[in-house]
Each structure stands twice: as C-alpha cells, then as structure tokens.
Amino acid sequence: MRWRDFREEFKERYYSWEHKREKEHEFLELKQGDLTVLKYERRFQDLTVFASTYLPTERHRVERFRDGLRRELRMILIAMQFQSVWELMRAAQGMERVIKDTPKPVVEQSQTMGAKRRDFEFITGRPPLPKKGKSGPSSGQF
C-alpha cells in the first residue's frame, strides 16, 4: 500500500465528515494574527491535510501562506518569488526578527497634538474649538 493511499484510508476511517469540515473552515479562516511566523507555519501545515482541494500545487500553498501573514510582513514579501512554503517561512521569520528588533520612532508631543487637531477638522468637517485662554473670532462680540 502506498503512503498516499494509507493516509486517505486513515482519514476516512478516523475523521468524521463534520470534523473534516470544521478543520477545513479553520484552515480557510487561518491568519497569523499574534502568532509568530513559526507557530503560524505549524498551524498552517497541520490544517493543510484537511484543505488539500484548495492547495493543488506548491504555488497555491505559498500564496495561501503569504496571504495569511500579518500585513507588515505580507507587504514586504509580496513582490518576492518563493518556490516553497519553507522558503517563504524562512524569509518571513527573518523579516519578523528585523521588525521586532527595530526601535519604533519617537514622535514629539507637539507634533502629535498638532496632527490630532488637524485630523479632527478633516474627520468632522469643522475646525476644532480654540484652546483655553485663546480668543476666537467671536471673542468680545455679542
């Protein structure tokens, strides 16, 4: 008996149809989220057994894995070509380390406040109220 035949027979015998459907749905909804790339890859590999119809080739597997990565990683890796999920996973792990180790820029408080006031006007369509102690255009007139 070939391995593929054994595996198919095993799945048929020990996994109920409902269980297969549940795992297939879990695969279709799988995203990296807060998982590390390594944990995401392990979960992805575990669930591919139940979603083989969606992954006829390695290229489909690579695209599906890439599409489930966090946006920051996906945006970097989307332009690159990978021959296997393993290659993509290794590149994503490297990018994950770089992103984690890169210090976040510190924005000065005055820049942040100015941006918030400008954003308020853009979002609401009206200028923000004047700051306390500042006189507005109608100050002193009734």
Q: Model confidence over 79-126: pLDDT tens digits?
A: 899 999 999 999 999 999 998 888 877 665 455 555 555 555 555 556
Question: What's the distance, CA 92 to chain centroid?
Answer: 12
**Would residue 113 count as lying in a domain?**
no
* pLDDT value at residue 50: 87
**Would residue 20 count as lying in a domain?**
yes
Domain of 65, in residue numbers: 3-101
Return the HEC string of the chain. Answer: CCHHHHHHHHHHHHCCHHHHHHHHHHHHHCCCCCCCHHHHHHHHHHHHCCCHHHCCCHHHHHHHHHHHCCHHHHHHHCCCCCCCHHHHHHHHHHHHHHHHHCCCCCCCHHHHHHHHHHHHHHHHCCCCCCCCCCCCCCCCCC
* pLDDT value at residue 138: 54
**Would residue 23 count as lying in a domain?**
yes
**Would residue 117 count as lying in a domain?**
no
Between 107 and 64, name the one with better pLDDT.
64
* pLDDT value at residue 116: 55
**Would residue 8 count as lying in a domain?**
yes
Q: What is the mean pLDDT of residues 40-47?
A: 96
**Count of domains in the chain?**
1
Q: What is the mean pLDDT of residues 46-63?
A: 92
Between 78 and 108, name the one with better pLDDT.
78
